[in-house]
């Protein structure tokens, strides 16, 4: 389980950037699907209810969590796309990645992350060494009744709110991640 969490953290490193570099999505309900080419994992779909404040918080929170792990994280605007190159380390594992963000943050966008992970423990599944993860997001409409901005409905139906997750992480770490908004 610890190995799986470490690999997921390295993938998160690959797709995060600072909040100032990622445009704010249109307020409302977004459906986000992640597929993993070259890995034995089914697609995962979640829904995110956002407004401007919680969308910035989601981006900043992810960037703050990975800031200490990523020695290199370059973001460049190339035409209408963002290209993010990152080198991150968790213990003996090192991830090098490139993410290409394209589309429109009002209706739909795609993030394609190509990564390679070195230093995997012996016995780790071969498909954990890297590959391509594609994140496709589309705006569905207004948030559902009872949802509040920041709610994330996971593929298993569990709902969490970014503010609650942030508080849990702050409590576990003894304070907010460095550079994260409050």
Question: Which residues, other chains included, contact 76 with Cβ-Cβ below 8 Å and sequence gap of 6+?
Answer: 82, 83
| pLDDT confidence tier of residue 9, bands split at 50, 70 and 90 | very low
Give the domain ranges of the chain. Answer: 2-173
Is residue 80 predicted with pLDDT exceeding 50?
A: yes
Amino acid 177: pLDDT:
45
Cβ atoms of residues 3 and 121 within 8 Å? yes
Question: Which of 18, 25, 29 is closest to 52 using CA atoms?
Answer: 25
Question: Cα–Cα distance between 149 and 45 in angstroms, integer?
Answer: 18
Q: What average pLDDT does the segment 160-167 reach? A: 84
Is residue 161 predicted with pLDDT exceeding 90?
A: yes
Range ranked top by mean pLDDT from 62-71, 145-154, 168-177 = 145-154
Q: What average pLDDT does the segment 58-79 reach? A: 78
Average pLDDT value over all residues in the chain? 80
Amino acid 19: pLDDT:
43
């Amino acid at each position: 389980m610890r190995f799986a969490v470490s690999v997921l953290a390295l993938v998160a490193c690959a797709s995060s950037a600072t909040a100032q570099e990622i445009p704010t999505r249109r307020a409302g309900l977004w459906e986000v699907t992640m597929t993993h080419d070259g890995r034995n994992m089914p697609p995962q779909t979640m829904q995110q209810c956002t407004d401007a404040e919680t969308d910035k918080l989601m981006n900043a929170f992810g960037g703050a969590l990975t800031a200490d792990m990523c020695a290199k994280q370059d973001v460049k605007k190339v035409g209408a796309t963002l290209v993010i190159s990152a080198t991150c380390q968790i213990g003996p594992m090192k991830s090098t990645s490139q993410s290409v963000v394209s589309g429109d943050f009002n209706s739909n966008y795609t993030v394609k992350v190509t990564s390679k992970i070195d230093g995997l423990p012996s016995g780790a599944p071969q498909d954990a060494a890297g590959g391509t993860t594609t994140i496709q997001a589309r705006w569905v409409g207004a948030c559902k009744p009872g949802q509040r901005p920041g709610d994330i409905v996971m593929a298993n139906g569990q709902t969490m709110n970014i503010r609650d997750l942030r508080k849990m992480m702050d409590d576990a770490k003894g304070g907010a991640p460095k550079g994260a908004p409050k």
